[in-house]
Amino acid sequence: MSFSRQSKIEILKTPMEDDTSSIAFLSGLFHSCGEIGKNGNKFFVSIVSDIQELFPYVKNIIKKLYGNNVEEEISENYLINKNTFYEMRFDVETFQELLLDVGVIDFSNGISFVFELNKSLLSEDVPCRAFIKGIYIGCSTSSIKFSEGALKTESTGYHLEFVSKNHEFLLEFSSILANYNIIGKIFERKGDFVYYLKDVNAITDLLALIGANESVLALSNELVTRELRNKVNRQVNCINANINKTVEASMKQVEAINTIISTIGLESLTEDLKEVALLRLANQEESLDELVKLSTIKLTKSGLNHRFRKLLKIAKELEE
């Protein structure tokens, strides 16, 4: 199950706190994934979503607010990228009170869909959070994929976005989130408008704001896992770089010593240089630190390195 779907289902496990929050939630839902249509002479407003758990949740809210005398129509006639999308239809005449309460229908000049948000529903914190929940479930997607282990499996970056046909709606939504210090950006893509967050802290703040605490914990654990994996990778790269450096230096030193042996011989060297040359030939894969420990004469790492430079200089002069 994707992170986006999992977080939405988590939100739907918690009932709305009061009637105002319920209406605010439905308003966010209708504004983010609602459509107006016509069947014969009757107008309807529909909610389209691939989250099947959403529809019994909505039905319970409607039953609580408006009683049992209304029935909505649900169909599953959408199939996009192997995902089944469900459509819940609300007849405008039957659900007129509901659609007016959530602020998505205007009857002043015929029947039209209202994109402007009802500010009166958002004047208090709890209903405002419920409104954001509705929008999150209605039109959010994410590309966040979790690692399978601390040291394996590459994962994507942190990306959460909200897609809408209406630019003004996303501008108002971004302004609402800005009041909670959650800042994103808006751009246009293939005729749609996209509000997106790429900062992991902003994403976790948003999830915490709408009560998806399990998702916040999962995302925080993923962040720790990625940081651990990156740290281990940096350490391994550093170790490999040091090994390569040691091997390269050792090969140059051995080559220089062999040049000396094949020309003037080791006997021509001073005792300390001869000692260092034999030490290197016997321990070609060891680092300077290890050679210092193996040496029978008292040498520091700096002193040992100085003698190797002398051997390299002698070999170079012999070659020339």
Q: pLDDT at residue 74 above 70?
A: no
Q: How far is residue 138 CA from its own chain's centroid?
A: 20
pLDDT tens-digit series, residues 220-261: 887 777 777 777 778 778 877 877 888 888 888 888 888 888
Edge-to-edge strand list for the sheet holding 160-164:
140-142, 160-164, 192-197, 185-189
Cα–Cα dist 260/316, whole Å? 9
Residue 236 forms part of a structural domain: no
Polymer length of the chain = 320
Q: By residue range, what is the domain housing residue 255?
A: 241-319
Phi, psi of 189 (to 5 degrees): -145, 110
- Token representation of residue 46: 């529909």
Same domain, 128 and 263: no
Question: Which of 211, 228, 262 corresponds to the end of one domain?
Answer: 211
Comparison of pLDDT for 291 and 153, the residue scoring more: 291
Q: How far is residue 156 CA from its own chain's centroid?
A: 6
Residue 225 forms part of a structural domain: no
Residue 150 forms part of a structural domain: yes
pTM: 0.69
Residue 231 forms part of a structural domain: no
pLDDT tens-digit series, residues 145-204: 766 544 455 556 788 899 998 888 899 999 999 999 999 999 998 888 999 998 888 999
Q: How many structural domains is the chain composed of? A: 2
Rg from Cα positions in the chain: 34
Phi, psi of 170 (to 5 degrees): -70, -35
